Amino acid sequence: MIYLDHHAAAPTSELVRQAMADASAIAWANPSSTHRAGQASRQLLEKARALVGQSIGAAPADVVLTGGGTEACNLGVRGLAKGRRKIITTAVEHPAVAESVRHLGRDGREVLAMPVLAGRPPAPGELAPLLSDDALVALHWVNHETGTLFPVHDYAQLCRAHGARLFVDATQALGKVPIDVASLEADAVAFAAQKIGGPAGAGACWVRRGIELDTVLAGGSQERGRRPGTLDTLSMVGFGAAASSIGRRLDQQTTIAALRDRLESGLLALGAVPNAVEPRTTTVCNVSFPGWEGAILVAALDLEGVCVSTGAACSSGLQQPSVVIRAMYPDEQWRAGSAVRISLGIETTDQDIELATLAFQRVLSRSQGQKLNQI
């Protein structure tokens, strides 16, 4: 199996698996319990929190651990919205952010979604006129489907200058670009363990000190009253272990870039049309194949032992035309239906790329010039 879907989930490393195996006999206990069993679990949890904080340049006390990336995004977006009348976002956000914003819109707030036409993020100059001191800006650092880098540092300075609040979804940025929340000047930033080789049930929302965050869930007063419910210590141990090797991930980016570029030029030679523009992360190649439905291409490649995706995975296993690509290319509807996302990670090898390119070649040669749904 050639795994090229690292933007969906990065494989766990031996280090992560070992850390979780070692912790499993202790981590079952409730970390909020007073007794020694609870204390042992609490100790593991706090160690994990420190490792996560370290990987993003944050003090442990400012890291709210959550049950995954979507929860972290909900907490950040909806938690910061108190007293904000205007929500500014982009048209290509992950559903965790897009739906959180939509939810706020239903409460009567004004919602502005900045276009990302032809894959180009809004220039800071496009954001500036929209800002006001009752605005919340909620957007991602790195797009999950195209790897597009958004100039969040520039956005942050503008937000600060206008008194607007800023939430950054850094889910796909972690491990791909260096992150230092202390210098980012955002108000809340969301992360997910799954994208750096940790378990899916662990995430984090960094919150600027002094910011009062509305809770999203109703319940106990865990996480300093910001995230109720018992955290899964075991998942957090995995998150901590994965975060501890962030440096190694970042060091590999040049190697990954070379592999990605080789793959991409191979696919372009097979007739692929690129969907992403620079600057973008080194980890992903998003292209459309005319005459193919992305979902069918993904299944055909899976039968050849190559794992890729059309974009955001959906629980039903049903792959939909990409909302992101549709928003980027509204005048070229075919692109969204024909898009595939091939995402690489630190485990990807030269041979993987070579075999994957051959698999694409085999599959694409099967249906020359035929169009689906024209029956």
Partner 1 sequence: MTEPKRILVAMSGGVDSSVAAALLHEAGYDLIGVTLHLWDAEGAQQVGRCCAPEDRDDARRTCEHLGVPHYVLDQRDAFRKHVVDPFVTDYLAGRTPIPCVSCNRTVKLTHLADLAERFGASHIATGHYARLDRSFDGRLRLLRGFDADKDQSYFLFGLPQSTLERVVFPLGELTKPEVRKAGRRLGVPNADKPDSQELCFVPDGRVGDFVGRQGRESKPGRILDSDGTVLGHHQGVANFTRGQRRGLGLGGGGARYVLRIVPRTDDVVVGQEKDLYDRELVAKDAHWVADRPAEPFEGEIRIRYRHRGAVGDITPTRDGFEVRFAEPQRAITPGQAAVVYRGDEVIGGGFIA
Residues catalogued as catalytic: 314
Task: Measure the CA–CA gap between 245 and 275, rounded to whole angstroms.
Answer: 31
Using CB under 8 A as the binding rule, whether residue 372 contacts partner 1 is answered as: yes
Answer yes or no: are the C-beta atoms of 144 and 172 closer than 8 Å.
yes
For 180-249, the DSSP string reads -HHHH--SEEEEEGGGGTS-TT-EEEEE-TT-----SS-S--HHHHTS-S---HHHHHHHHHHHHTHHHH
Task: Measure the CA–CA gap between 367 and 369, rounded to whole angstroms.
Answer: 6
Phi first, then psi: what are they for 355, rounded to 5°? -70, -35
Using CB under 8 A as the binding rule, whether residue 366 contacts partner 1 is answered as: yes
Minimum CB–partner distance for residue 371 and partner 1 (Å): 9
Query: Please, what is the end-to-end C-alpha distance for the chain in angstroms?
Result: 34
Answer yes or no: are the C-beta atoms of 32 and 222 closer than 8 Å.
yes
Please report which helix (H) or strand (E) contains residue 89, including its range: strand 86-90
**Which one, 258 or 372, has the nearer CB to partner 1?**
372
Per CB under 8 A, the segment of 199-207, 247-255, 264-272, 366-374 that binds partner 1 is: 366-374
Using CB under 8 A as the binding rule, whether residue 43 contacts partner 1 is answered as: no
**Which one, 230 or 320, has the nearer CB to partner 1?**
320
Minimum CB–partner distance for residue 228 and partner 1 (Å): 30
Task: Measure the CA–CA gap between 4 and 306, rounded to whole angstroms.
Answer: 7
Task: Measure the CA–CA gap between 301 and 352, rounded to whole angstroms.
Answer: 13
Using CB under 8 A as the binding rule, whether residue 319 contacts partner 1 is answered as: yes
Minimum CB–partner distance for residue 301 and partner 1 (Å): 10
Among 183, 254, 316, 351, binds partner 1 (CB under 8 A): 316
**Which one, 145 or 293, has the nearer CB to partner 1?**
293
CA torsion, ordered 48, 51, 53, 57, to nearest 10 deg:
180
Neighbours of 83 (CB within 10 A): 10
**Which one, 254 or 316, has the nearer CB to partner 1?**
316
**Which one, 123 or 372, has the nearer CB to partner 1?**
372
Tokens read off for 357: 């390119």
Using CB under 8 A as the binding rule, whether residue 373 contacts partner 1 is answered as: yes
Cα dist from 306 to 2, 169, 274, 349, whole Å = 5, 29, 20, 13
Among 2, 96, 137, 363, binds partner 1 (CB under 8 A): 363
Using CB under 8 A as the binding rule, whether residue 34 contacts partner 1 is answered as: no
**Which one, 34 or 370, has the nearer CB to partner 1?**
370
Instruction: Kindly state the number of chain residues that form the binding site for partner 1, as judged by CB under 8 A.
Output: 23
Binding mask 281-310 for partner 1 (x = CB under 8 A): -----------xx-xxx-xx-xxx------
Q: What three-state secondary structure class fits 16?
A: helix
Using CB under 8 A as the binding rule, whether residue 367 contacts partner 1 is answered as: yes
**Which one, 351 or 374, has the nearer CB to partner 1?**
374
Using CB under 8 A as the binding rule, whether residue 358 contacts partner 1 is answered as: no
Phi first, then psi: what are they for 196, rounded to 5°? -125, 25
Minimum CB–partner distance for residue 325 and partner 1 (Å): 16
Neighbours of 271 (CB within 10 A): 15
Per CB under 8 A, the segment of 124-132, 137-145, 180-188, 313-321 that binds partner 1 is: 313-321
Among 129, 317, 331, 351, binds partner 1 (CB under 8 A): 317
Using CB under 8 A as the binding rule, whether residue 370 contacts partner 1 is answered as: yes
Footprint on this chain of partner 1 (rule: CB under 8 A): 292-293, 295-297, 299-300, 302-304, 316-320, 362-363, 366-367, 370, 372-373, 375
